[in-house]
């Protein structure tokens, strides 16, 4: 694992940048405001702080969670026009995103229901029983024609079953006498 990089400077919350120590005034270090942003004034810093508070309420950059909507409603009635307008834009964008997600979910559910109906209709058309492996159908392991040695009465257990016809040729030496 490599060495940990040291972060140089301080983070200015107003311009959201990491700047060198020299870009901060004496009190700016503690308040996390660089000299350039400190010159903006208290009103502009207040607006930027309120916008940051709005962003903390958002999920996935656009969706306002239902539990946080009462807190978000506070910004829709904010005394500052810029904050209020920004909150209204985010609320409209959140509604559009929710409608899009709702439409996508409904389309996905409709497609799933259609697939299940098709699958059910296909199963009903085929029938409940699988096709039998009989005289006319070849089983997946080979041809039925030469397997008479394995045709046993139903009451025969595997211990009573005879050896296959070619077992003696396949193992000329008894299994106990073979060396590993």
Domain boundaries, given as residue ranges, for the chain: 8-40, 46-126
Query: What letter does residue 174 receive in the DSSP assignment?
Result: -
Half-sphere exposure (Cβ direction) of 95: Cα atoms closer than 13 Å:
5
In this predicted structure, what is the pLDDT of residue 156?
Answer: 57
Q: In a 3-state reduction of DSSP, which class is residue 22?
A: helix
The pair of structure tokens assigned to 131 is 């096709």
pLDDT along the chain (180 residues), means of 10: 74 84 73 84 91 87 88 94 95 93 96 89 69 52 53 58 54 54
**Rounded to an integer, what distance in angstroms lies between the CA atom of residue 6 and that of residue 157?**
75
In this predicted structure, what is the pLDDT of residue 160?
Answer: 58
123, 142, 143, 64: which is closest to 96 by C-alpha? 64
48, 63, 146, 56: which is closest to 100 by C-alpha? 63
The pair of structure tokens assigned to 51 is 């916008």
| Number of CB atoms found within 10 A of residue 80's CB | 14
85, 90, 102, 83: which is closest to 62 by C-alpha? 90
The pair of structure tokens assigned to 6 is 């040291």
pTM for the model: 0.55
CB within 8 Å of 75: residues ≥ 6 apart: 50, 53, 54, 83, 84, 86, 87
Query: What letter does residue 149 receive in the DSSP assignment?
Result: G
Half-sphere exposure (Cβ direction) of 148: Cα atoms closer than 13 Å:
2
In this predicted structure, what is the pLDDT of residue 22?
Answer: 76
Which residue carries 């009903």 as its tokens?
Answer: 124
For the chain, the first-to-last Cα distance in angstroms comes to: 48
Are 12 and 49 within 8 A, CB to CB? Answer: no
In this predicted structure, what is the pLDDT of residue 179?
Answer: 55
In this predicted structure, what is the pLDDT of residue 123?
Answer: 76
């Amino acid at each position: 694992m490599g060495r940990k990089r040291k972060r140089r400077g301080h983070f200015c919350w107003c311009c959201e940048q990491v700047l060198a120590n020299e870009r901060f005034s004496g009190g700016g270090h503690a308040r996390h405001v660089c000299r350039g942003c400190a010159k903006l004034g208290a009103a502009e810093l207040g607006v930027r702080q309120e916008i940051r508070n709005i962003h903390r309420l958002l999920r996935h950059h656009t969706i306002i969670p239902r539990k946080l909507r009462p807190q978000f409603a506070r910004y829709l009635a904010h005394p500052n026009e810029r904050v209020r307008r920004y909150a209204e834009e985010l609320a409209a964008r959140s509604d559009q995103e929710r409608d899009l997600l709702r439409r996508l979910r409904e389309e996905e559910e409709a497609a799933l229901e259609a697939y299940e109906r098709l699958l059910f209709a296909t199963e009903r058309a085929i029938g409940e029983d699988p096709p039998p492996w009989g005289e006319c159908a070849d089983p997946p392991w080979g041809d039925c024609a030469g397997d008479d040695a394995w045709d046993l009465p139903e009451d025969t257990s595997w211990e009573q079953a005879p050896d296959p016809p070619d077992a003696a040729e396949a193992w000329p030496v008894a299994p106990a006498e073979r060396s590993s």
